[in-house]
Chains A and B, each alone.
Chain A
């Protein structure tokens, strides 16, 4: 589905990713964990083409997207839930969702909207409320819902648990598990290593711009190094 081959990314002169290779297969949940500044978000942004990789290749469904424009990439069956939610705070829930399906027809938008309300009944209740006035958890649900509006085959989540209460995090992860059942490929970037690895089919550990470990989620959870560094021993 998504393949990164030896990707290097620079911010100006500083190299943030030193040759990262990651593979996400169709229908699986892949988690990427790592400490602050390891380059997790940079990796995601490289997939989205902002900034573009300075070396290596990014391949989405067999198509080389390394040098494509962000807007083009985001219209080819991939959706991202950006870090920190970033909902349109002045727009209502319904309008936020409609923005998510910007390039779809009205009928399609209605269908995906009903689907999102099914996943998040909470959003249905708040349909006409401005997104900025909702709680963090609700905003995160909206951000995920908005990403689902374009009916993506693959969804990328950047720290969906950021700043949320444990019970909300649990709900969010349940939904992510549910997405896999629907056949959506999930690429999850998390600091919350325990939950992310528990859910994932496979996981990668990123450290200062390099892939340090790569294994199934279960094995990584059991790995003493990972336990030491990310799970508090």
Chain B
């Protein structure tokens, strides 16, 4: 049965050898002023051969293996169950969400500083992914330059604080609005584009913003970035050991508790949490409003949507603008969390990761996207033990995921609109 795969399997094994042998099997060694080439030790060469053999046998029996993998979802005990009635599900969901939010509120007081810091990053990604979900998942516009809006939010705060001394709370709405404005401006030229063309233009836009930030040295500091971005304050209370700005008091003195570096981290986490919850709620609300239905209608069938009098321009622009708005939100929090930003943080890889989160989570599904944001952010951290191979593990996990559940972790289940009858 595996005979028809033999040629293909052999080819794959040879490719593995060709790629792995020069990289792992040969070492460059410094000999005085010259560089020499040496073969690696026997164990490395053996493992290269073993790897090739594994690839060979996997490809040979691929159909069987993948077939069995496809049957795995049976492991899910809930798979065979009847779907719950919608009313019950909505109720259960809202209870579960409330529970999770309450837990998330108290959780940072019991764990290490590092975990809280990571959790803040997760929340930033949740905001980003929820925002992109509007553009990609709901409106069906493939945006590969989403990180540009994130950068606009972050740089708005950094520049405003550097040149005008504006605080986090002032910068938060400004950053978000400015990012939204950029979304609007980008929206206009790309309106008539669809699919691949749209993806390419947005990709270009993302790069333009990054390159601009990198080269406009007089304002943005170029590749050196901007440092000394202030942390948020709580009603004029600072979280540092000493008060930096006149007129402010310090948090630990006001409350008469000992100074601890953790306060600041937890405070930032809580801000990110509140903003993420606001993002989720606002978008949830929008999804049920006419504008949300218009996004879906336009995604499903553009001609039909237009025949009903929907304006393509308005609908697409609103999706772009709202998505960008929340990226600006996330960017401001990110700048405040890091205290230092540079164009390095806003490379294409970030856009790709955020998009991966949306796709992994199940396009359009909020809970799925949140779960995926957690998984995608934490997985590389957990995989740190694998050191150099951590991105490899991450990639493999993504491939497996797409084979297993191509529709995403939790595919979007549409909330049906029921018009209540008054009888």
Contact = CB atoms under 8 A, between A and B. Distances in A.
Interface of A: 48, 50, 69-72, 74-75, 79-80, 82, 86-92, 94-95, 98-100, 102-103, 106, 109-110, 113, 128, 146-147, 150
Nearest to B419: A110
Contacts of A79: 307-308
Contact of A86 (B294, B304, B417, B418): B304
Contact of B294 (A82, A100, A102): A102
B413 to A, nearest CB: 11
Given A88-B297, A102-B290, A94 B303 contact: no
Interface stretch (B50-58, B141-149, B309-317): B309-317
B308 A98 contact: no
Contacts of B303: 82, 86
A71 B311 CA distance: 5
Nearest to A83: B303
Contacts of B296: 88, 90-91
A33 B297 CA distance: 31
15 contacts: A48-B307, A69-B311, A70-B311, A71-B314, A79-B308, A91-B296, A91-B414, A94-B416, A94-B419, A98-B293, A98-B417, A102-B294, A102-B309, A103-B309, A128-B416
Given A89-B300, A110-B421, A74 B309 contact: yes
A99 B306 contact: no
Contact of A95 (B294, B310, B314, B416): B416
A113 B307 contact: no
Contacts of B294: 102
A115 B305 CA distance: 22
Given A95-B293, A110-B419, 17 more contacts: A50-B306, A70-B306, A71-B311, A71-B314, A74-B309, A79-B307, A82-B303, A86-B304, A89-B300, A89-B301, A90-B300, A95-B416, A95-B417, A102-B293, A102-B294, A102-B308, A109-B419
B407 to A, nearest CB: 13
Chain B interface, DSSP helix/strand/loop, else mixed: helix
B270 to A, nearest CB: 38
Which of B296, B306, B314, B421 has the largest count of A CB atoms less than 10 A from its CB? B306
Given A86-B301, A89-B300, A102-B294, A94 B309 contact: no
Interface in B115-129: none
A71 B416 contact: no
B304 A102 contact: no
Given A94-B419, A110-B419, A110-B421, A71 B300 contact: no
Interface in B294-348: 294, 296-297, 300-301, 303-314
Contacts of A113: 419
A71 B417 contact: no
A102 B294 CA distance: 9
B300 A74 contact: no
A179 to B, nearest CB: 17
B418 A88 contact: no
Contact of A71 (B301, B306, B421): B306
Nearest to B306: A70
B26 to A, nearest CB: 54
Contacts of A147: 307
B304 A87 contact: yes
Given A89-B300, A91-B300, A95-B293, A150 B416 contact: no
A102 B414 contact: no
A94 B308 contact: no
B307 A82 contact: yes
A80 B293 contact: no
A74 B417 contact: no
Nearest to B302: A86
Given A82-B303, A86-B304, A95-B293, A102 B310 contact: yes
Interface centre among B294, B301, B313 (most CB of A within 10 A): B301
B310 A94 contact: no
A80 to B, nearest CB: 5
The residue among B303, B308, B311 with the most chain A CB atoms within 10 A of its own CB is B308
Given A74-B309, A99-B297, A82 B417 contact: no
